[in-house]
């Protein structure tokens, strides 16, 4: 379950890279505008949110009840004689 959550997280992160996190792909005007927005904006930093989503371990987001439910379901399979 954890590996699936990690794979899903990385897949989403690679698909949704904000423009602010790719300075090499920006024009000079876009870089200037991004710096200006970071300085005078009260919004949260999109790049910081992106890296938080990418680097925070999904194990902290999986509820213990989900783990126990999956464990019980996997171990309820009948044992053959």
29-60 pLDDT, tens digit each? 877 877 777 777 777 777 888 888 888 877 77
Who's near 1: CB < 8 A, 6+ residues apart?
Answer: 62, 66, 67, 70
Question: Average pLDDT, whole number, for the chain?
Answer: 77
Tell whether the model's pLDDT for residue 63 goes beyond 70.
Answer: yes
pTM above 0.85, yes or no: no
Radius of gyration over every alpha carbon of the chain, rounded to an integer in angstroms: 20
Give the domain ranges of the chain: 2-75
State mean pLDDT over 63-74: 81
Task: Give the model's pLDDT for residue 79.
Answer: 61
CA 59/CA 3 separation, integer angstroms: 9
CA 44/CA 52 separation, integer angstroms: 12
């Amino acid at each position: 379950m954890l590996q699936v959550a990690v794979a899903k997280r990385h897949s989403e992160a690679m698909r949704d890279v904000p423009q602010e996190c790719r300075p090499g792909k920006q024009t000079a005007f876009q870089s200037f505008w991004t710096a200006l927005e970071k300085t005078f904006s009260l919004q949260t930093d999109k790049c910081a949110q992106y890296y938080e989503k990418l680097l925070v371990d999904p194990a902290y987001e999986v509820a213990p009840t989900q783990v126990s439910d999956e464990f019980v379901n996997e171990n309820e399979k009948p044992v053959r004689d």
